[in-house]
Structure 1
């Protein structure tokens, strides 16, 4: 099925919030194992008001994937080069929506002069990000109680790695 990707606006917050919550609850069982405390902590900031604030922040770049009138995906890149959100409604998985959102985020990161994108992946999404060229770089415990995988990807047009391992997450220009 076809979908469109466009910049997210505050009016998308309620629908985007529903996508975030459904994706976490229905698709990330490998991560939360149905633990009510983990789910409550993970979903705690997934409210329309908070999502709207994320979309309105001038330091964030956010997108939604839309099929017909329905929001089926949401992605958000911070000004520091972190992919903070990349979630799909369960019915949108496996149809290229995630790849398309990620490609647009990476294009924007390049346009902003970023050299890398990094993220903390769930176990559920680990294979997806690895398949999109992201490199594993250890484990990170999320504040809401799950272990995540730190991933990063160089965005240089030639695919080369950043100059030094120490600076791989720095998106500043160095002379």
Structure 2
């Protein structure tokens, strides 16, 4: 629990609220990116249906998390076993409160459980700085399948695991440090 906000695994029953969150976040938080262009916005929103979101949440090769307070969804994130951070969205009023950071930490933890060493995502320019602050490298521009120019971002996770493994090795080693 973080400031009264629960971060938990998403379930199919979350789909209607999660779909509404996705659509509102894209329409409002990403307005600088799509500029209200109907071709881009309509295509971006086209697959954001409760049925699709429920399928994404229940597909075994995906891992989805939600942030909620008092039964209201404030954010969601979805990782694929291919190492793609496919979704990371917040309600407009929930930005800059640590919710995105908590979701991202949970997704990265799951990636390590799945032995994924590198995450990647397409980020609208308006959200790229958030990911860069959390260690993601910007590899340049890429156009999404729905026509939006995004930043291609990635982060290596195995360096963190190597450091943890090294610390554990030295802590449990039988050798003398003299």
* TM-score between the two structures when normalised by the length of structure 1: 0.88
CA distance in structure 1 between the aligned counterparts of 2:148 and 2:40, rounded to whole angstroms = 8
Greater helix fraction, Structure 1 or Structure 2: 2
**Greater radius of gyration (CA):** 2
Among 49, 53, 56, which residue is 1:54 paired with?
56
Aligned to 2:111: 109
Number of residue pairs aligned between Structure 1 and Structure 2: 160
Q: Secondary structure at the match of 1:85?
A: strand
CA distance in structure 2 between the aligned counterparts of 1:111 and 1:105, rounded to whole angstroms = 10
Gapped runs of 5+ residues in structure 2? 163-178
Task: Report how far residue 29 of structure 1 moved.
Answer: 1.0
CA distance in structure 1 between the aligned counterparts of 2:149 and 2:39, rounded to whole angstroms = 15
Task: Report how far residue 25 of structure 1 moved.
Answer: 0.2
Contact 2:68 2:74 in 1 (8 A): yes
Q: Deviations over 1:88-142 (max 9, x none)?
A: 0011111000000000000000111111111111011011011110001121101
Aligned to 1:70: 72
Higher relative contact order (CA 8 A, sep 6+): 1
Aligned to 1:148: 150
Contact 2:33 2:126 in 1 (8 A): yes
Among 91, 111, 114, which residue is 1:89 paired with?
91
Task: Report how far residue 37 of structure 1 moved.
Answer: 1.6
Gapped runs of 5+ residues in structure 1? 161-175
Contact 2:83 2:118 in 1 (8 A): yes
Task: Report how far residue 157 of structure 1 moved.
Answer: 4.4
Query: Cα RMSD over matched residues?
Result: 1.2
Aligned to 1:131: 133
